[in-house]
């Protein structure tokens, strides 16, 4: 199944999907040293997003979150790619400065946790294998 969305940041990645219905705040909500979601009560609390395709509706929280994503990239704890229902400026800027492939305007209900997916940020597509 190939889903067509909008390109946010170029590049391709193939990895396992980690999917949540909750918004993500990278600043304060994710530990940039371990890649774990640390927001109390978050659906992904305690799980690592490192090397996965992170699928969530939209970003939230402080604009410092863009810098947190950059730090994750430098620490090798960043997700391999990001898929959103609707991008917000914090995650968009974070993906650009950290060079993480990113696509939005995707019906994220069609992606299941653990599925292998290919994100093509240059074409704005997500392929579920």
Partner 1 sequence: MKLTQEEQDMLDGKYGKSAKKSMEILTTLGEIFDAECMVDVYGVQIAGVSYANLGEAGLEFLSEMAIDGKVRVLTTLNPAGMDRENWQELGIDKEFAKNQNRAIDAFAKMGIITTCSCTPYLIGNAPHYGQHLAWAESSAVCYANSVIGARTNREGGPSALASALTGKTPKYGYHLDENRHGQVLFKTNTPVKGTDEFGVLGKIIGDKLVELGKKIPYISGIPLATVEELKSFCASVATYGGTALFHMEGITPEYNKYPIPKDFVFEINQDDLDKTRAELIDDDLEIDFVSIGCPHASIHEIEKIARLLEGKKVKKEFWITTARPTKRIVDEVGYSKIIEDAGAKFAADTCCVVAPIKGRFKGIMVDSAKACYYGRAKNKFKVKIGSIEECIEEAIK
Active site members? 62
56 binds partner 1 (CB under 8 A): no
122 binds partner 1 (CB under 8 A): no
* Distance between CA atoms of residues 31 and 16, nearest Å: 20
Distances from the Cα of 70 to the Cα of 75, 98, 108, 117, angstroms: 9, 5, 24, 23
Cβ-based nearer residue to partner 1, 82 or 92: 92
Cβ-based nearer residue to partner 1, 66 or 120: 66
DSSP state of 43: T
90 binds partner 1 (CB under 8 A): yes
* Distance between CA atoms of residues 38 and 28, nearest Å: 8
From 34-42, 47-55, 63-71, 106-114, give the range in contact with partner 1 by CB under 8 A: 63-71
From 2-10, 14-22, 48-56, 110-118, give the range in contact with partner 1 by CB under 8 A: 2-10
Phi-psi region of 35 (alpha: psi -120 to 50; beta: other; left: phi over 0): left
DSSP state of 5: -
Q: Which residues bind partner 1 (CB under 8 A)?
A: 6, 8-9, 32, 63-64, 66-68, 70-71, 74, 87, 89-90, 92-93, 96-97
């Amino acid at each position: 199944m190939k889903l067509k969305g909008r390109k946010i940041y170029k590049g391709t990645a193939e990895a396992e999907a980690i999917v949540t219905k909750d918004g993500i705040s990278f600043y304060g909500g994710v530990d940039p040293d371990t890649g774990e979601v640390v927001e109390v009560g978050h659906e992904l609390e305690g799980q690592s997003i490192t090397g996965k395709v992170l699928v969530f509706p939209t970003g939230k929280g402080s604009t410092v979150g863009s810098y947190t994503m950059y730090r994750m990239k430098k620490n090798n704890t960043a997700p391999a790619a990001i898929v959103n229902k609707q991008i917000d400026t914090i995650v968009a800027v974070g993906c650009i400065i950290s060079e993480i492939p990113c696509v939005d305007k995707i019906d994220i209900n069609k992606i299941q946790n653990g599925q292998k997916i290919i994100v093509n940020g240059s074409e704005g597509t997500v392929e579920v294998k």
